[in-house]
Every structure is written in C-alpha cells, then in structure tokens.
Amino acid sequence: MKILVTGGAGFIGSAVIRHIINNTDDSVVNVDKLTYAGNLESLEGVSQNARYAFERVDICDRIAVDRVIREHQPDAVMHLAAESHVDRSISGPAEFIETNIIGTYTLLEAVRTYWNGLDDEKRAAFRFHHISTDEVYGDLEGPEDLFTEATPYQPSSPYSASKASSDHLVRAWSRTYGLPTLVTNCSNNYGPCHFPEKLIPLIILNALEGKALPVYGNGNQVRDWLYVEDHARALYKVVTEGIINETYNIGGHNEKQNLEVVHTLCALLDEMRPDSPFKPHADLITYVQDRPGHDMRYAIDACKIQRELGWTPEETFESGIRKTVEWYLSNPEWVAHVKSGAYQQWIDENYVKRAEQA
C-alpha cells in the first residue's frame, strides 16, 4: 500500500510513520504544515528510506492537497493533522476551528474527488482513516464508567469540540457520499518525541532543569495512558484490517491521576539521575490554578478493537513511562532543538501566570 499520513511530523503521526516504514513493506507520504509542534527530526531514522516522501502542505490549502493526492495516488489516507493542545484552544480557538474543522472538510472533499475517479477495484480497497480523541466524549461521572464507541459526544473545550466536529464530518461524508471511512478515538498518548507542552515531557524536562513542576488544581484528574508506539500499531491495524464505517476506541488500560503520574516521573528521575542537584524532584511540584472546563476523568473501553482486530497494548504504564524517561535523557539534542523561543514564551504565558494566580 501507499498511505498518505497527514500530520506525520507530529507526535503520533511520526510514530505511525516510523512503525509503517520499520515494520511493513508499505510506502508513506507525509503531509505536514510544520507548525510549532511538527518536527522532522522525529523521523530521522526513516526519512532517507525510498518508501518515504515528505510534502510540506497545509491541509486547508485545497489546491496543494489536490496536487499531492494526484501525484502520489494513495491507497489510504490516515488523517492525524490537528491542533491538539487544550490550553492553546482556550486562549486561541481560531486555529483549532481552522485546522481541525476546515482542514478536515478540505481534505475530505479532495479525497472524495480522487476516490470518485478511481477504478472499481481501487475504489473498493480505498480507506480514509480519521484519528480522533476520547476528549470528544467529555468526562465520566461514575468511577467505573468507560467510554465506548456508542458514548454520546459532550466536548468540554474548544479543542475537543473541534475534534467532535471533524468526527461528525467524516461520518457524514461516509453516509452521504459513500466514502469508505474509519474513525478511532484514543486516550492520552505518551512516549518518545512528544512536544514538551504536554504533561509528561513538560514534567521530565522541567525537573531536569530544577524548574517548577506545574500541576493543575489538586492533580486528581484521571487519564488513561497509552504508549504512542502501541497506538501506532493499533492505527495500522485499523487502516489495514478495520471494518469500513466502524469506530474503534483505543486505550492503554492504564488509568492514573495526574499527580500520580508526576510522582512516578520524579521517582524515576531520582533513580536515573542520582547526582541531580534537584533531587528529590518531587520537591519541585507546584500547584497552579486549574484550567477552565477541565474534565475530571477519561477511561476507554477498548474491548471492541481487541475482540475484532486482536489488538492489545504491549506496554504497561510502568514499562512505557520508564522507556519514555530514558528516551528524553538519551536525546538532549532533539529536546534542545524543539525548545524554541516561541515554546518558552508559551510556557511562561500558560504556566507562570497560572502559578501567580493560584
């Protein structure tokens, strides 16, 4: 197959591309605008492979998207391009509406035009796989509740609302135009090459520098943590074996409170950096004002993908989080390059001001 991956320079997208190039005979076309969170260094191990191609294209640019699809003639599209940081969506929702909604619409229309022009055999084999989030469901009430594929949508933030909208667009294009689609909704990802505005890489890198470790509210928010390479395996499984027009929830079976995650990271850094002047790193924990509309608990029921496609996560939280810390400690150049002035400005605006308001 030739698979076109949008957002392939991002955290999850780069993991998907690495998985495909390293573990299959398929070819990949990486379509990425290279916004602040896109990083081609995350693909250095595969970017010279003859089965890999890169196109710097904004998915909102219909002419450019048409050209890429026409030139590369993909057998499937995996749509991961999205603005994904909740706090950024609160302070600046416009980019989320543009990329996640308008971009998805533009891509769907370009793909529909291309798909309609294929011969019968290629039309039947084609797949449009839309990668989404469990945040579209809102938060769970009971401690035993789980998100299933039938859980109603109740998004809480501009980010999750924009992703919910894109999910609805994909399903509408399937229902109305017959486009063969698949949708997956995943829990919180973590692992190598994660842009350091998200909780786990932020805590690791701040702790190494002796900076405050910001925890929203009381830190009791619960998330289901999914190792990104497990997610990449699941996504490839869905695009190649999933049933058309179906939705699959993907979770790591690892529910943890945010504060528990932070303490785990501190303990690992105490172990792996025993000579650190900032040990014990847990002393750096700082509680900051909670963000507006913060969901309290997410948890995925991933029985369907296990039952129908035979996928289960290989990493426990304990094994995955250790691998993650080891990766950041072993890749200081990647970290140094990604931490630009714009990133520092964002951290100052988002976390320092919140600490002052707490």
Annotated catalytic residues are 134-135, 159
Question: What is d(CA 186, CA 87) in angstroms, rounded to the nearest whole number?
Answer: 19
Instruction: Tell me the torsion sign for CA atoms 310, 17, 330, 352.
Output: negative
Residue 251 gets the label, from left (phi > 0), alpha (psi -120 to 50) or beta, of: beta
Q: Any bridge partners for residue 224, and if so which?
A: 255
CB-based contact 29:55 (threshold 8 Å): yes
Question: Integer distance in angstroms from the first to the last C-alpha of the chain?
Answer: 52
Six token digits for residue 299: 């948890």
Contacting residues for 206 by C-beta, under 8 A, at least 6 apart: 212, 213, 214, 284
Cis amide prior to 280 (ω within 30 degrees) = yes
Q: What is the DSSP string of 66-94?
A: HHHHHHH--SEEEE------HHHHHH-TH
Residue 343 gets the label, from left (phi > 0), alpha (psi -120 to 50) or beta, of: alpha
Q: At what angle do helices 317-330 and 199-208 cross, to 10 degrees?
A: 50
